[in-house]
Amino acid sequence: MQLIIVVVVVGLLGGIAVGLQTPLASLIGQRLGVLESIFIVHLGGMILSGIPLLLARGGKLGEWQRVPWYALGAGVFGLVVIGSINYTVPRLGATVTVILVVVGQIVISLLVDHFGLFGTDVRPIDLSRIVGVGVLFLGIWLVIR
């Protein structure tokens, strides 16, 4: 039971990070520009992840060739996230932006699970999942209106 609590807390920390990153990246974007915001956010992440990686003498970074070629493009999606945040926050606010980001994650995750993409276990889309996503879209509508 303790393990599941740790997993839930780590997941919540990820959500908190998205909630904090959203207005901060938007602030940079509004003051400097979208490309500048994307660059600064990713530079900060690179530096912060690079320090422990250097301390670990590169870890397994030298084995990058073992990763499927398409997985190496994962960073591109970070560019899309920051760009969409920069565009959406000034127009809809941080709350709606985070909700949209989370619902987008859930919808694509449903498809990834349903088809077992990228090595995930197959978890078919069923009625309860469809209803759950419908409730999320209702939530978006209630928050935006």
pLDDT tens track, the chain, 145 positions:
678 899 888 888 988 888 889 899 999 999 999 999 999 999 999 999 999 999 999 899 899 999 998 888 888 888 899 999 999 999 999 888 888 988 899 999 999 999 999 888 999 999 999 999 999 899 888 988 8
pLDDT of amino acid 1: 67
pLDDT of amino acid 8: 85
Tokens coding 41: 């956010």
User: What phi-psi label fits residue 29: left (phi over 0), alpha (psi between -120 and 50 degrees) or beta?
Assistant: alpha
Contact 26, 94 (CB under 8 A): yes
Return d(Cα 106, Cα 11) in angstroms, integer: 14
Return d(Cα 58, Cα 68) in angstroms, integer: 19
DSSP string, 14-53: HHHHHHHHHHHHHHHHHHH-HHHHHHHHHHHHHHHHHHHH
